[in-house]
Amino acid sequence: MNTEAKENEKIAAAVMGYGTIGSGVVEVLEENRDIIAKKTGKEIEVKYILDLREFPGTPVENKIVHDIAAITGDPEVKIVVEAMGGVHPAYEFTRACLMAGKHVATSNKALVAACGTELLQIARKKQVNFLFEASTGGGIPVIRTMYRSLAGEKIEEITGILNGTTNYILTKMDRCGQTFESALKEAQDLGYAERNPEADVEGHDTCRKIAILTAMATGKEVNYEDIPTEGITKITDVDFKYAEKLGRSVKLFGSSRIEGDKVTAFVAPVMVGPEHPLYAVNDVYNGIVIKGNMLGTSMYFGSGAGKLPTASAVVADMMEAAVYSEENIPLGWTEERLEIEPLENASFRYFLRISGNTQSGKERVREVFPDGEIVELSGYSEFGVLTSKMKEAEFNEKKAAISDVIGLIRAE
């Protein structure tokens, strides 16, 4: 028996963008060096860090480069991490790396949602991998679960709380009566929020993530701009008072419902009760429910944002690339474009707030929504109704018959 310890093969890597995630990747590679080497049989060494800044006096100062050519032109570099954020120049740099025959792992949902189809195509042509586990659900391994563990499933629904910042804000508003602004400030201080928090609170970040999950589920390219998107900026403390009376909470969902070749998708706040699996997903955590035709319901839960959870998912992709260094892993995402059905065809319950608190007003609402549950808040000159489930088109018609609607949240 040969008892000589086998030397691990060394693989050079580069990190583009030394911000929260990029520096997290370097930290995870360092901290878990032994376990990574043991599991892959390879030692991943960061050779270059591409950034506009210098980082003098830090352990990475000698690795900093400012020209992408240093990375694309070095045949030793096999794996590149893209952690720059935004679409440009992340797209141009990622494309250049793939064209140069390097695997790329990214945490950048904006890039994947906007250019995923093309970058995957280039990766296939070049027999390398374009991997994006960290782009959706932060540290939750949902992308790999979809292309490996759920590969034999026909996915029927994906519904997720996909944005840590908004989940943090909604949880603080629900549990602590905190204002939107103070909760957002806390989420920003904790490093969860996007550079521009509008992307979080207006639902754009969730939109890109549900677009990526829908592409993974259907195998088709999804134009994220086709997904009706509503954020949480209109949700108020009064909505949470009603939700409390109804034993419910409000969560920002990104969702796709897939029936045969008909797909509806949306991003919107949804009022849910404790029977919903995502009701208990609070704070910065993300949760994703996936329904498959054979599997039934499954749920994935974990840290959806933050430096180390996200970096951990990037490192897992780097390890996947290190192990499958000579082949392109089929992810099933093709160039065929997915048509998204109008949201009018989807069914929900609806929570409506109506101004005034007269008997005649309530009777009118009972006529329009005979199965609706009326809810009142003492001291408020308004009331609410939670309707039964119906198609959005039918709901819109009924709603037109009620004047003085001052608030509307979809419900399940």
Q: Is 251 a catalytic residue?
A: no
Q: Read off the tokens for 51.
A: 């950034």
Min CB(283)–ligand HSE separation in Å: 11
Between CA 216 and CA 255 the distance in angstroms is: 13
How many other CB atoms are there within 10 angstroms of residue 91's CB atom? 19
17 touches ligand HSE (CB under 6 A): no
Told to check if 200 binds ligand HSE by CB under 6 A, we report: yes
* Binding piece for ligand HSE, criterion CB under 6 A, among 81-89, 189-197, 267-275, 334-342: 189-197
Residues 356-395 that bind ligand HSE (CB under 6 A): none
Q: How many residues bind ligand HSE (CB under 6 A)?
A: 11
Question: Segment near ligand HSE (CB under 6 A), from 4-12, 56-64, 187-195, 262-270?
Answer: 187-195
Q: How far is the CB of 45 from ligand HSE (least distance, A)?
A: 27
Least distance from ligand HSE to the Cβ atom of residue 193, Å: 5
User: Three-state secondary structure along 264-280?
Assistant: EEEEEEEEECCCCCCCC
- Of 311 and 409, CB closest to ligand HSE: 311
Contact flag: residue 192 with ligand HSE (CB under 6 A): yes
Nearer to ligand HSE, 150 or 161 (CB): 161
> Which of the stretches 76-84, 152-160, 192-200, 221-229 binds ligand HSE when contact is defined by CB under 6 A?
192-200
List C-alpha distances in Å: 36 to 16, 40, 93: 21, 6, 26
Per CB under 6 A, 22 contacts ligand HSE: no
**Residue 36 vs 252, nearer CB to ligand HSE:** 252
Q: How many CA atoms lie within 13 A of 374 on its CB side?
A: 17
CA atoms within a 13 Å half-sphere pointing along the CA-CB vector of 240: 18
DSSP structural state of residue 342: P
364 burial class (0-12, 13-18, 19+ CB within 10 angstroms)?
middle
Q: Report which DSSP code applies to 119.
A: H
Stretch that binds ligand HSE, among 95-103, 141-149, 186-194, 403-411 (CB under 6 A): 186-194
Among the listed residues 133, 156, 194, 221, the single contact to ligand HSE using CB under 6 A: 194
As measured in angstroms, the least distance from the Cβ of 86 to ligand HSE is 13
Taking each helix axis from N to C end, the angle separating 109-126 and 204-218, rounded to the nearest 10 degrees, works out to: 30
How far apart are CB 371 and ligand HSE at their closest, in Å?
36
Q: List the catalytic residue out of 42, 209, 251, 307.
A: 209
Token pair of 172, please?
Answer: 């603080």
* Alpha carbons 238 and 232: distance in angstroms, whole number: 14
* String of contacts with ligand HSE for each residue 159-178, x by CB under 6 A: ----xxx-------------
3-state secondary structure of 290: strand
231 binds ligand HSE (CB under 6 A): no
Least separation, in Å, of the C-beta of 404 and ligand HSE? Answer: 35
Q: What's the min distance (Å) between Cβ of 190 and ligand HSE? A: 10
Tell me the three-class secondary structure of 295-321, residue by residue. CEEEEEEEECCCHHHHHHHHHHHHHHH
Q: Residues 285-314: x/- map of binding to ligand HSE (CB under 6 A)?
A: -------------------xx---------
Please, what's the b/e burial string for 373-410 (b: 16 or more CB within 10 A of its CB; e: otherwise)? eebebeeeebbbbbbeebebeebeebbeebeeeebbbb
Considering only the C-alpha atoms of the chain, give the largest distance between any 2 of them, rounded to a whole number of Å.
Answer: 90
The one-letter amino acid at 364: R
Q: Which of 17, 138, 160, 254 binds ligand HSE (CB under 6 A)?
A: 138
Contacting positions for ligand HSE (CB under 6 A): 138, 163-165, 192-194, 200, 205, 304-305
Which active-site residues does the annotation give? 209
